[in-house]
Amino acid sequence: MNISQASLQILEQLSALVRGINEEDFKRPSDTLSKSTVGQHLRHTLEFFICFEQGFQNGVINYDKRAHDTLIENDKFAALDAIERISTFVKTLNANKLLKLEVGYDLTRDEFISIETNTTRELVYNIEHAVHHMAIMKIGIREIAPYVELPSNFGVAASTVRFKETLQPSHN
């Protein structure tokens, strides 16, 4: 499986989650998640992909400059539209374009440094970031929407899935 396919698989799992959860639970604060919602974690995850797409277009990615679009976190259909747009973008990636990544860690001002990166590295980063937030979403879903059936590997890194398979007794 290539990186684009892995990314599309993650986006499909997120789409299935959104389709399976009711609107009220999508935006219901979770005690376990410090009052954040599944929708907020989904929006955060998707906005990293959106920043990547915008940065791909102009050559500079800055994940700190997210829109914090409350429509995506409160409206399932807006979230599904965003997932579809991101999936379309990922399907178009066919070259490993050189990019700049702006990062800022100063807590008192918007001061950024620029480092070299590329399309492949940023897609990998977005996959890892998504898996991390999917694991958090899974915790919230178990609390507020236990009726949602998630795949066993939802929010689990591919390396962990492979490792767990080595622990299974062979049935030969």
**CATH code of 51's domain:** 1.20.120.450
Question: H or E segment at 113?
Answer: strand 113-118
Mean pLDDT of the chain: 94
Q: What is the count of structural domains for the chain?
A: 1
Residue with the bigger pLDDT between 160 and 111: it is 111
Please give the share of the chain, as a percent, with pLDDT higher than 90: 84
- The conformational region for residue 96 under phi > 0 = left, psi -120 to 50 = alpha, else beta, is beta
pLDDT for residue 166 is more than 90: no
pLDDT at 165: 79
Determine contact, residues 62/98, Cβ cutoff 8 Å.
Answer: no
pLDDT at 170: 62
pLDDT for residue 1 is more than 70: no
Does residue 99 belong to any structural domain of this protein? yes
Neighbours of 170 (CB within 10 A): 4
As a whole number of angstroms, the distance between CA 139 and CA 38 comes to: 9
Best CA proximity match to 78, nearest among 130, 48, 36, 43? 43
Does residue 111 belong to any structural domain of this protein? yes
- What are the tens digits of pLDDT across the range 113-158? 999 999 999 999 999 999 999 999 999 999 999 999 999 899 988 7
Does residue 135 belong to any structural domain of this protein? yes
pLDDT at 159: 79
- What are the tens digits of pLDDT across the range 40-49? 999 999 999 9
Strand partners, 114: 102
Does residue 105 belong to any structural domain of this protein? yes
**Residues whose CB is less than 8 angstroms from the CB of residue 114 and which lie 6 or more positions away in sequence, other chains included:** 60, 100, 101, 102
Which DSSP letter does residue 32 get? T
**Residues whose CB is less than 8 angstroms from the CB of residue 81 and which lie 6 or more positions away in sequence, other chains included:** none
Does residue 128 belong to any structural domain of this protein? yes
pLDDT at 172: 55
Does residue 172 belong to any structural domain of this protein? no
Domain range for 123 is 3-167
pLDDT for residue 75 is more than 90: yes
Please give the share of the chain, as a percent, with pLDDT higher than 70: 97
pLDDT at 161: 73
